[in-house]
Amino acid sequence: MVEFYFLGSIILLKVTDLISPLSVSREEEELGLDLSQHEEQVSFGNGLTEVHKMPEIKVLA
């Protein structure tokens, strides 16, 4: 029975990954997930903010 649950979970993860990727690209990770995923700026405790320009990300359709 455990094998059935394991296989079902793997299938659900693969289908979910096809619809909405479960991981980010290396480029997005290096840019920073706040900016690439949420389009937020980084702010520091001393009142400084670091502004990044959002790069063009090609969407494959």
Instruction: Tell me the two tokens of residue 27.
Output: 């480029």
pLDDT surpassing 80 at residue 53: no
Distance CA 21, CA 15 (A): 10
Q: How confident is the model at residue 13, as a pLDDT?
A: 93
Strand partners, 49: 43
Q: Can you give the residue ranges of every domain in the chain?
A: 24-61
Please report the pLDDT score of residue 28 as a whole number: 77
